[in-house]
Amino acid sequence: MIKKSLNIDYLEYTSINDLEGDWLDLIHEADNNLENAYAPYSNFKVSAVCKMANGHIVKGVNQENGAYPSGLCAERVAVFAAKSQFPDQKVDKIVITTADTTTVPVSPCGACRQVLIEYEMTQNQPIELVMKSGDSKVWQFKSVKDILPFAFNGEFLKEKG
């Protein structure tokens, strides 16, 4: 038996102004779209913005439904729309924000992580993530792998038989 361990590096910012490059613009794009979230049941509004390799920005917000499981998280709304409009473009970055004053940044659910890592694996390039809470604390990850170690890989299916 071998004991193994994992170490995950990520950055925490207490001010969004300390982020470099276009992250701040992307956060503003996400925050400005929060009002479009359709979250009448949870009242928990989430916004996600994908930056594609061609520079296009694709936004998504959570969509709820009276039949609860029929709704979809902001991250999947955004990335599915992005890959529908630009199927051949890599997803460079995703920003996730919430209107809620959570003390920790809003972190994608397991299903959204699995969806994001599918694109990360097939595009052979990490998707960088930034997550922000309502009170502006920010976490930055270099790769979806960092928030979903041991992910299921669609390639496993091809190794059968």
DSSP 104: S
Cite the DSSP H helix spans in 52-127: 74-85, 110-123
Closest approach, Cβ 70 to ligand THU, in A, equals 11
Looking at 64, 75, 120, 128, which residue is catalytic?
Answer: 75
Closest approach, Cβ 77 to ligand THU, in A, equals 8
Between 19 and 61, CB nearer to ligand THU: 61
Between 73 and 129, CB nearer to ligand THU: 73
Closest approach, Cβ 57 to ligand THU, in A, equals 18
- C-alpha–C-alpha distance, residues 144 and 103, integer Å: 22
75 is catalytic: yes
What are the residues binding ligand THU (CB under 6 A)?
39, 42, 44, 46, 62, 64, 71, 73-75, 106, 108-109, 112
Name residue 18's amino acid. Answer: D
Between 71 and 158, CB nearer to ligand THU: 71
Q: What is the dihedral of CA 99, 102, 107, 109, to 10 degrees?
A: -90
HSE-CB for 129 with a 13 A CA cutoff:
27
Active-site residue list: 75
